Chain A
Amino acid sequence: MYAILSMHMANELLSLPVAAVTLLGAAAAVAVAARRSAKSLGTDRMPLMGVMGAFVFAAQMVNFSLPLMPGTSGHLGGGVLLAILLGPAAAIVTMTAILIVQCLLFQDGGLLALGCNIINMGIVPCLLGWAVYRIVLGNIKSAPPWRQYIGAWAACVIGVAAGAAMVPIQAGVSGVLRIPLGQFLAVMVGVHLLIGLVEGAVTFAVLAYLRRVSPLLVGLGATQAVGRLGRGAVLASVAFTALLLAGVVSWFASASPDGLEWSYRARSYGLSGRAVAPPSGAVAAVEGWQARWSLMTGYTRRPAALGQTPADAGGQDAPAETWPNVDGWGSLAGLLGTLATLGAVYLLAVLVRRRFSRPGAAA
Chain B
Amino acid sequence: MHHHFIDRFAQLDSPVHSLDARAKLVAAVAYMAVLISFPRHQVAALAPMAVLPLAALWLGRVPMWFALRRLAILSPLILTLCAFSPLYDQSPCVAAFGPWRFSMTGGWLAAGNVAVKFAFGILALTALTCTTPFSLLLEAMRRLFLPRMLVMQLSLLYRYLFVLIDEGMRLRRGRDFRGAAMAPVSRRLAAAGGIVGALFVRTLERSHRVHLAMRARGFSGEPHSLRLLGFSRADAVFLIAAAGYLLFCRWAYPALVAGN
Contacts and interface: CB of A to CB of B under 8 A. Distances in A.
Interface string B125-161: 1101100001001000000000101101111111111
Contacts of B159: 50, 54
B203 A52 contact: yes
Contacts of A135: none
Interface string B246-259: 00000000110110
A233 interface: no
Given A45-B211, A205-B193, A295-B42, 12 more contacts: A30-B150, A49-B156, A54-B165, A57-B164, A59-B199, A105-B7, A112-B33, A176-B36, A177-B85, A294-B41, A295-B44, A301-B106
User: Which size bracket describes the interface of A in this complex?
Assistant: 35 or more
Nearest to A74: B192
16 contacts: A11-B117, A43-B221, A48-B211, A54-B164, A58-B168, A58-B199, A75-B192, A104-B128, A112-B29, A112-B32, A177-B114, A201-B189, A294-B41, A296-B43, A298-B96, A324-B87
A13 to B, nearest CB: 7
Given A112-B32, A179-B88, A11 B121 contact: yes
B201 A213 contact: yes
Contacts of B188: 64-65
Contacts of B129: 104-105, 107
B34 to A, nearest CB: 9
Interface string B21-52: 00000001100110111011111110000000
User: Which size bracket describes the interface of B in this complex?
Assistant: 35 or more
B106 A15 contact: no
Given A12-B114, A100-B154, A275 B165 contact: no
Interface stretch (A120-128, A158-166, A243-251, A285-293): A285-293
Given A286-B39, A299-B93, A177 B117 contact: no
B62 interface: no
Contacts of A34: 147, 149-150
Contact of A294 (B35, B122, B125, B258): B258
A279 interface: no
Interface of A: 4, 7, 10-16, 19, 30-31, 34, 38, 43-55, 57-65, 67, 75-76, 81, 85, 93-94, 96-98, 100-101, 103-108, 110-112, 175-180, 201-202, 204-210, 213-214, 217, 275-277, 286-287, 290, 292-302, 305-306, 320-321, 324, 344, 348, 363
Nearest to A62: B195
Nearest to A305: B91
B168 A206 contact: no
Contacts of B28: 111
B241 interface: no
Nearest to A203: B193
B149 A296 contact: no
A210 B207 contact: no
Contact of B81 (A4, A13, A306, A348): A13
Given A58-B164, A111-B125, A299 B189 contact: no
B54 interface: no
B161 A101 contact: yes
A11 B36 contact: yes
A320 B42 CA distance: 26
B147 A177 contact: no
Contacts of A294: 39, 41-42, 44-45, 254, 257-258
A46 B82 CA distance: 43
Nearest to B137: A104
A66 B12 CA distance: 42
B210 interface: yes
Interface string B83-97: 011011111111111
